[in-house]
Amino acid sequence: MSTSIPAFDAVLAGVFERRTHVAPIVVGITGPDTSGKSQMASRMQAVLAQSGVAATIVHVDDFHNPKKIRYDERLTESEAYLEKSIDMERLIDGLLRPLRDTGTLNAQLQHLDLDSDTFSIKKNYVVAAGGVMIVEGIFLLREDVREFIDYMVFLHVEPQEMLDRAYRRDVPHQGLSVLRKYHEKYIPGQRFFLQQNRPQDHADVIIDNSRWHSPTVIPVARTVQSLLEEVDAQWILFDLWETLVPLPQATKAQAFYAFCEHLDEDPRLLRTAWDATRQARETRPLEQYLDELSQNLDKKWSSTAVRDALAARRAIHGAEFYAAQPRITRELGKISGSGRLLGLVSNCSSDVRSLLADSGISDSFAAITLSSEAGRMKPAPSIFEQAAALLNATPSETIFVGDGSDFELVGALTAGLHPVRLAVHDRIMWPGTTVDTLSILADACAANPRRNEKLREG
């Protein structure tokens, strides 16, 4: 991360805006495990030093409780992680409260050595009048802690990115078993904690730090109603799967088994290659993909078998499109009736175009952008830019509604759109604007028609 990165510059600007030459300022950098808190704290300390400002870093990890407290057998792993892992009272009473009460700090604390489980590490903490204390670590959004924080920075990463980073960072030192802790302890614990202590309510700035070298400021979360009023959005781009058309895992499995049956392939064996080549499948015509796949697997699928396999798969998927069409037409009709043009952008195989047309769903959209035709997939900002251009839309007046990974929402944000997450499941911890259902969005649009009803020429 460098100071030339806008997101980091925004964080620094907030620090300098709040800093005085008399009273110290306490900056909190918090977020889930692996979100990059310590890296940002170190970079901030270095940049402040270049400006002649002394900054002291406090690591929340130094305030771990001993094992006998952390591993309370009366609690689940995630509960113990939330309630027993960190001694926040020591942090508050030893550093935060004295600094607030006196305006300076000169303290020495004994910290736990995690390997020996003994309080054998000494650290000195010095903060002068007008200095900066940077507190980095988990759980700083707790009510008893955040009252001592003058400027709160929340670093967001989605669960899959947490797992990927844990694999790279923790597995080499702790073994594969550490990934179980992420699945059963850290991720569930963080999800619950952030539901109870929402960063959108308590953080001064939220940064998506999913990409180390290009962090992105996530706009302050607001209701959909207030977003519509503020942006006066003329265009709305929609994701497809789950946002509009649910495609249950059981349906996907049924379609894949039918597909394999016509190719006379064992679905258990073909599944690995199928899953590993999703990007190829969804960035080119399906027939071309299958031709390449058959060559890579040294298979001799006849054109008749391929045609029948695709037809069987399409028939099963198509039933979901037909079932969803009345609801989609009704809800999207409310939205288009509010003076807005609608578009669709989806990661999908090339047969989806005909499924949309045959079911009548495509009639709800002025423009449709599919990854299999665009040659690129979300979250690439370029596909959002292409979708906006096809809709003849101005990105700053366009909302993207999706339920997929946070990467997709950030991709839309990077392209200049306003991302809104549709909360159809709880796998995502998006701290930006969220709406619970498509129906709520439709009602909000109907209640907030565009101020300028004249649509641009498309």
Lowest mean pLDDT among 1-15, 129-143, 233-247: 1-15
* Mean pLDDT score, 190-198: 93
Rounded to the nearest angstrom, the gap between the alpha carbon of residue 80 and the centroid of all alpha carbons in its chain is 25
Tell me the pTM.
0.80
Provide the pLDDT for residue 221. 85
Rounded to a whole number of angstroms, the CA Rg of the chain reads: 26
Give the tokens for residue 198: 């929402």
The Cα–Cα gap between 152 and 141 comes to 8
* Mean pLDDT score, 193-214: 91
The Cα–Cα gap between 283 and 261 comes to 25
- Residue 37, sorted as left (phi over 0), alpha (psi -120 to 50) or beta, turns out to be alpha
Q: Which among 161, 157, 328 is positioned nearest to 241, based on CA atoms?
A: 328
Provide the pLDDT for residue 457. 41
Provide the pLDDT for residue 308. 98
Provide the pLDDT for residue 427. 65
User: Could you give all domains of the chain from N- to C-terminal order, each with its CATH number?
Assistant: 6-218 (3.40.50.300), 219-458 (3.40.50.1000)
Provide the pLDDT for residue 452. 54
Query: Which stretches of 50-131 are assigned E, i.e. beta strand?
Result: 55-59, 105-113, 118-127
Provide the pLDDT for residue 21. 79
pLDDT above 90: residue 424: no
Place of tokens 């952390």: 70
The mean pLDDT of the chain is 93
CB pairs under 8 A, 24+ apart, for 362-369? 363/329, 364/328, 364/329, 364/332, 364/333, 364/336, 365/238, 365/332, 366/341, 366/342, 366/391, 366/458, 367/343, 367/391, 367/392, 367/458, 368/343, 368/344, 369/343, 369/344, 369/345
pLDDT above 50: residue 383: yes
Provide the pLDDT for residue 458. 43
Query: Helix 77-84 to helix 187-196 angle, to the nearest 10 degrees?
Result: 50
The Cα–Cα gap between 53 and 19 comes to 10
Task: List, for residues 266-303, the tens digit of each pLDDT value.
Answer: 999 999 999 999 999 999 999 999 999 999 999 999 99
Contacts of 409 (CB under 8 A, 6+ apart): 379, 400, 402, 419, 421, 430, 432
Contacts of 219 (CB under 8 A, 6+ apart): 413, 418, 432, 433
The Cα–Cα gap between 153 and 209 comes to 11
Question: Do the strands 418-422 and 398-402 form a parallel or antiparallel pair, or are they unpaired?
Answer: parallel
Provide the pLDDT for residue 212. 78
The Cα–Cα gap between 409 and 376 comes to 16
Half-sphere exposure of 366 (CA within 13 A, CB side): 23
Provide the pLDDT for residue 189. 94
Q: How many residues does the chain have?
A: 458
Over pLDDT 70: what percentage of the chain? 97
Half-sphere exposure of 147 (CA within 13 A, CB side): 6
Provide the pLDDT for residue 4. 62
